[in-house]
Structure 1
Amino acid sequence: MENVKRRSLEEIADRDAIRDLIDAYAYCADTRDAEGQMALFTEDTLFRVFMDERQAEPSQIVTSRKELAPIFDNLNTYDSTMHVNGQSKIILSGDTAIGTTYCNAHHLTIDGDDKKLMVAAIRYNDEFIKLNNQWLFKKRDLKVAWVETKPLNS
């Protein structure tokens, strides 16, 4: 126990604020608050989507906060979603940080009696920045590890 690093109150507060940011992203997605979700990013954010995490090149690139709207609006094609965040690894460096967060994103589609559930296993690789005492996403890579789609019984 002697080599356990003691964390300052500021570091604890920063880690807590970053985790709140990560969770706010999922909450805004599931409540369809696209404007709230966009506000979690810097104006000059870089958001890249990798539909297959093994690919070197992203399938979609966004280079500003305002360009995020169509991505977040796409969630309206589902009847319901539930993003469940798992573990995060955050490395702080003053007013910047990097991190990886695991997420299972559930997407429900209902067409009459036909119900389908798509679950995407996602890793988010993030760069964070603290501006005006608020943590924001500076860069977010959404990397899909796998997708499972299955019918749901009523």
Structure 2
Amino acid sequence: MTLEILKSKEELRDLVDAYAYLGDEKRIAEVMDLFTPDAVYKVYMGGTLLATTNGIQNLERDFMGHAADVKTYFTLNGQHTVKIIGDVATGVSFSQIKMIREPEGKKVLTDYSVRYVDQYVRLNGKWLIKERTGHFVIIESRFLDN
């Protein structure tokens, strides 16, 4: 493995982690900086495609709408495997995402176990997400006492 590949792997992991950090803080405009302008974002739940969003303008609108309903996000990233060929790469990462919403004044915690399948490109020396497909494998919701 070359030094260039190791450097790219670290940069790609930093990209995936930045997505989580910024998302948790609802810094949506900065999350959009992690994507190519023509990015595609897909969501599968239980193996069924629920949504496809094209372009960062639409993606930002969708993320802002979702973030407005969520009081708190907390994301833990796990494994991240990538295959790099020049300035393109594919990757698979795993995340545990917790979201707290307050419908009707009661706190509801939803846990999501997610496998992301990504396509990345390096533009002007910076890795970006070109396509992200979120497979929400396990979803559990419960009311919180506090």
SS at match of 1:59: strand
Of residues 105, 110, 124 in structure 1, which corresponds to 2:97? 105
Identity over aligned pairs, percent = 28
Number of matched pairs: 145
Aligned-partner Cα distance in 2 for 1:108–1:61: 24
Q: Deviation string for 1:38-78 (max 9, x for gaps)? A: 111101111111122x22xx211111111111221112211
Supply the AA of the counterpart residue of 2:88.
T
Query: Which residue does the alignment assign to 1:25?
Result: 19
SS at match of 2:5: helix
> Displacement of 1:89 after TM fit?
1.2
Q: Which range is displaced more, 7-16 or 110-119?
A: 110-119
Q: Do the aligned partners of 1:32 and 1:76 also contact (CA within 8 Å) in 2?
A: no
For residues 25-44 of structure 1, what are the structure 2 equivalents within 5 Å? 25-44=19-38
Supply the AA of the counterpart residue of 1:32.
K
Residue 55 of structure 2 corresponds to residue 64 of structure 1: yes
> Displacement of 1:108 after TM fit?
1.0
Q: Deviation string for 1:116-135 (max 9, x for gaps)? A: 21001111000000010000
Supply the AA of the counterpart residue of 1:48.
K
**Structure 2, unaligned stretches of length 5 or more?**
none
Q: Do the aligned partners of 1:51 and 1:59 also contact (CA within 8 Å) in 2?
A: yes
**Structure 1, unaligned stretches of length 5 or more?**
1-6
Query: Which residue does the alignment assign to 1:121?
Result: 113
Aligned-partner Cα distance in 1 for 2:57–2:9: 27
> Displacement of 1:113 after TM fit?
6.8
> Which structure is larger by alpha-carbon Rg, 1 or 2?
1
Query: Which residue does the alignment assign to 2:68?
Result: 76
Of residues 1, 9, 20 in structure 2, which corresponds to 1:15? 9
Q: TM-score, normalised by structure 2?
A: 0.93
Query: Which residue does the alignment assign to 2:79?
Result: 87
SS at match of 1:67: helix
Q: Do the aligned partners of 1:90 and 1:99 also contact (CA within 8 Å) in 2?
A: yes
Aligned-partner Cα distance in 1 for 2:105–2:50: 33
Aligned-partner Cα distance in 1 for 2:54–2:102: 33
> Displacement of 1:12 after TM fit?
1.0
Aligned-partner Cα distance in 2 for 1:22–1:133: 17
Q: TM-score, normalised by structure 1?
A: 0.88
Where does structure 1 differ by over 6 angstroms across 4 or more consecutive aligned residues?
none
